[in-house]
């Protein structure tokens, strides 16, 4: 087990069917919801499901799930419910519908594997708390196809007692579980942050592949070199994060904001000569130049992280 700034991580224990099985409700039966319900069934748990479109329940009903006729029926008497729906507004509306139909979800632990913002997650926690519901928020960092396997990686946040009470049940999802602490929005924060990192990396790769093809190269030849470049980022990441956390921005031992701006201008020109657009580089260059104009041209490139801080006026910190 590791413990870094309040975060604990451990390999999720394997659930065992039989005396340890629990009754659990799953709300939301898209690809991820069906995968979660299937994993719970495979682990021997008694699963009730509800979805706005009942036809999506056919797969898990065939595996032994029980279809509830309404949100109130789905949550009636449940100790734990796993939600995986469009957003937290849908979570709130399902719970509201259950209460309007006479249901009493007080005492429920709601494990929310729905993606939303940290702010909305905190609002949802307050809404649910007023109804006597405990929120354990979560973020699935792998695909639906990995659920139930060792490849699963899920982040959780919220009251540790509630998380620990249902850890054996959550172990049915497989892989590694990380509890990030009592801040119920911690998993949502990391989810948004990590997906931003992922998709900007994919966008950068797409731009690189476009250039290779425009220049008549076999894009497959680029792959091992792109992997090596990605590994360089992996190697640099811990140190860059530590520098940002400590406010160490000196560019004396690294590239500087000014030199990065020059490099980006060169790259944009090279792409233009190959008739490949540069929306990713354009956006990066804009932030870098904003940082330089703010007087940080001789600082290290990680200084640009501060430029992303919203001051509340709709503009960046600089």
**Which residues, at least 6 apart from 154, have a Cβ–Cβ distance to it below 8 Å?**
12, 113, 138, 139, 140, 141, 142, 170, 173, 175, 176, 177, 178
Which pTM value belongs to this model?
A: 0.90
Provide the pLDDT for residue 227.
Answer: 98
CATH number of 190-308: 1.10.1040.10
pLDDT at 9: 39
pLDDT at 10: 40
Question: Which of 258, 253, 201 is CA-nearest to residue 231?
Answer: 201
CA distance 108 to 134: 6
Whether 2-182 shares its CATH topology with 190-308 is answered: no
pLDDT of residue 8: 38
CATH code for the part of the protein at 2-182: 3.40.50.720
d(CA 207, CA 229): 14
pLDDT tens digits, 29-60: 999 999 999 999 999 999 999 999 999 999 99
pLDDT tens-digit series, residues 76-111: 989 999 999 999 999 999 999 999 999 999 999 999
Residue 5 pLDDT: 33
Quick one: pLDDT at residue 20?
73
Collect contacts of 302-307 with beta carbons under 8 A, ≥24 apart: 302/240, 302/243, 302/244, 302/249, 303/249, 303/257, 304/257, 305/244
Residue 2's pLDDT is what? 30
Q: How many CB atoms lie within 10 A of CB 133?
A: 19
> How much is the pLDDT for 12?
39
For residue 298, the Cα-to-chain-centroid distance in whole angstroms is 34
The Cα–Cα gap between 285 and 288 comes to 5
Q: Average pLDDT for consecutive 10-residue bins of the chain (318 residues)?
A: 35 46 96 98 98 97 98 95 98 98 96 98 98 98 98 98 98 98 98 97 97 98 98 97 96 95 98 97 96 96 89 50
Q: What are phi and psi of 24, to 5 degrees?
A: -145, 145
Between the alpha carbon of residue 229 and those of residues 211, 224, 232, 234, 295, the distances in Å are 16, 9, 5, 9, 30
Domain residue ranges of the chain, discontinuous segments joined by +? 2-182, 190-308
Residue 4: predicted pLDDT:
31
Neighbours of 198 (CB within 10 A): 11
């Amino acid at each position: 087990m590791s413990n870094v700034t309040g975060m604990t991580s451990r390999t999720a224990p394997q659930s065992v069917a039989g005396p340890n099985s629990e009754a659990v409700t799953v709300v939301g039966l898209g690809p991820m919801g069906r995968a979660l319900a299937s994993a719970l069934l495979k682990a021997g748990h008694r699963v009730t499901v509800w979805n706005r479109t009942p036809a999506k329940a056919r797969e898990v009903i065939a595996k032994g799930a029980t279809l509830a006729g309404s949100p109130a029926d789905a949550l009636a008497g449940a100790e734990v419910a796993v939600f995986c729906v469009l957003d937290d507004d849908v979570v709130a509306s399902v719970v509201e519908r259950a209460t309007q139909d006479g249901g009493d979800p007080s005492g429920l632990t709601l494990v929310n594997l729905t993606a939303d913002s940290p702010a909305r997650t905190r609002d949802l926690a307050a809404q649910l708390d007023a109804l006597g519901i405990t929120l354990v928020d979560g973020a699935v960092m792998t695909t639906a196809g990995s659920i139930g396997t060792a490849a699963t990686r899920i982040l959780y946040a919220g009251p540790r007692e509630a998380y620990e009470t249902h850890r054996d049940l959550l172990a049915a999802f497989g892989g590694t579980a990380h509890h990030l602490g009592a801040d119920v929005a911690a998993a949502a924060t990391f989810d948004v942050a990590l997906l931003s990192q992922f998709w900007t990396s994919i966008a950068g790769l797409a731009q690189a592949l476009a250039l290779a093809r425009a220049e008549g190269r076999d894009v497959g030849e680029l792959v091992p070199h792109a992997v090596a470049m990605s590994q360089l980022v992996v190697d640099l990441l811990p140190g860059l994060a530590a520098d940002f956390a400590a406010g160490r921005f000196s560019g004396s031992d690294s590239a500087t904001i000014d030199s990065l701006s020059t490099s980006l201008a060169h790259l944009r020109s090279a792409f233009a000569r190959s008739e490949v657009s540069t929306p990713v580089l354009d956006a990066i260059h804009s932030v870098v130049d904003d940082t330089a104009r703010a007087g940080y041209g001789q600082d290290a490139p990680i200084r640009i992280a501060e430029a992303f801080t919203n001051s509340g006026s709709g503009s960046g910190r600089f």
